[in-house]
Amino acid sequence: MTVTFAPESAGSVTGSVSVTSNATNSPAAVSLSGAGSSSLDPLAAPICGLTNDSTNHMPDDTDWANFIPPAIGGTYTDSLYGCSVKRLTNSAAYGEALHHYYATEEPISAGDSYIMVVGESSGAWHIIDLNGNVVIPAASFPNNDHNDQPKWDRTADNVFWINLGNVLEKCTITGNSASCAANHTFAEYASYGQAFTAETDMTLNGWLPLVGQNTQGGNIDVFLYNPTASVKSPVYETSCTGDAFDASPGCIHKMISTANDGIMIQFASNGTCTECGNRLWESDTTPAWSITAPQFEATASHIDSGKDLSSTLVMASEDQPQRTTQLIAGAIPASSTC
């Protein structure tokens, strides 16, 4: 009998194998023990791909012309990189491209069971599983104002969040349906409501970055809300006006969650003014801190935030004109380095 031991962390582990039979001592148990020598190395060589490869590979278009994709749920092996790829969607069948909007938004549920997908032209959301099977079709997806972007919960595999007017709703997946219930009503936005913006996501500690507006066309507030603790952060009132239900409302181009429960507000105008470029805002700081590195003064930069292997807060940006990548790290904003 072969037993496989694949520790996920360092330390001693015990277990047993039980054998059931028609013998008098059934079931017979065999005690097992093992020692994990080290945790999994996130920088270890991948199981596929090219190592230390700096070549800019340009596929021959004949490869694409002759490529026959597998059916949904089927896999193929990439001829260059040797990686197994599973097909999850069929855009031709839907008549539009299917994706999960921005890469900075988490597409997969907390327990890796579901994927959120949206139609490029229709804006209709639906949920599939990891084999491409439709779990919640677009026709049954819960109503959310102006097709507001749903956000996965960080702790519950079958929970996502939507906004309906000034009500934040918690939606729970059961089988092939989703039921939603009010979690919190923002009375301060009773005349209009609150919404999620493009690129944002629930933070690691369960805070939802939101924009709120009491009257359509009025000033837009930026704040965070923790639905588990029922706590709203202080509010950063911007001078931006427009429609808070737009994915990019007014002079707010996008917002991105940070790993320390902050928000990077990407304003529509470039420069160093108070509401220009990219601003790091943490709810105990008003006005928002400026991310002063030159590449962050332009909204054209693709930007994201996270933590490195030493748990240092980092932000990465791609400067589109030069196609270069910059990394800013350290105690932000007091002593940022690039």
Q: What is the pTM of this model?
A: 0.79
pLDDT of 331 strictly over 50: no
Predicted confidence (pLDDT) per residue in 228-271, tens digit = 999 999 999 999 998 888 878 888 888 989 888 888 888 888 87
Same domain, 244 and 285: yes
Query: How far is it, in rounded angstroms, from Cα 131 to Cα 73?
Result: 5
- Give residue 135's domain range: 83-185
H helix or E strand, kind and range, residue 91: helix 91-94
pLDDT of 66 strictly over 60: yes
Same domain, 174 and 246: no
Same domain, 215 and 237: yes
Q: Is the Cα dihedral 138, 139, 144, 148 positive or negative?
A: positive
Count CB atoms within 10 A of the CB of residue 36: 15
In a domain, 76, yes or no: no
| Averaged confidence pLDDT in the chain | 84
Predicted confidence (pLDDT) per residue in 11-32, tens digit = 788 888 889 999 988 999 999 9
Question: What is the three-class DSSP state of 181?
Answer: strand
Which of 142, 165, 185 delimits the end of a domain?
185
pLDDT of 68 strictly over 50: yes
Which of 159, 185, 211 delimits the end of a domain?
185
Query: Who wins on pLDDT, 108 or 330?
Result: 108
pLDDT of 312 strictly over 90: no
Same domain, 286 and 196: yes
Same domain, 101 and 144: yes
Alpha-carbon separation of residue 109 from 80, 155, 172 (angstroms): 30, 9, 12
Rounded mean pLDDT, 274-301: 71
Which of 137, 159, 185 delimits the end of a domain?
185
Question: What is the three-class DSSP state of 112?
Answer: coil
- 208 with 225: CB under 8 angstroms? yes
In a domain, 16, yes or no: no
How high is the pLDDT of residue 134? 95
In a domain, 159, yes or no: yes
Total domains in the fold of the chain: 2
How high is the pLDDT of residue 309? 79
Same domain, 207 and 118: no
Alpha-carbon separation of residue 262 from 163, 197, 200, 204, 205 (angstroms): 20, 15, 11, 10, 11
Same domain, 191 and 116: no
Of the pLDDT bands very low, low, confident and very high (cuts 50, 70, 90), residue 335 is very low
Question: What is the three-class DSSP state of 193?
Answer: strand
Same domain, 166 and 194: no
Same domain, 179 and 141: yes
Same domain, 179 and 198: no
Same domain, 199 and 167: no
Query: How far is it, in rounded angstroms, from Cα 22 to Cα 308?
Result: 55
Percent pLDDT > 90 in the chain is 41
Does residue 27 have a cis bond before it (omega within 30 degrees)? yes
In a domain, 87, yes or no: yes
- Tokens 């020692």 sit at which residue? 35
Same domain, 129 and 207: no
In a domain, 65, yes or no: no
In a domain, 140, yes or no: yes
In a domain, 242, yes or no: yes
Highest mean pLDDT among 18-22, 116-120, 182-186, 213-217: 182-186
Query: How far is it, in rounded angstroms, from Cα 223 to Cα 20?
Result: 58
In a domain, 28, yes or no: no
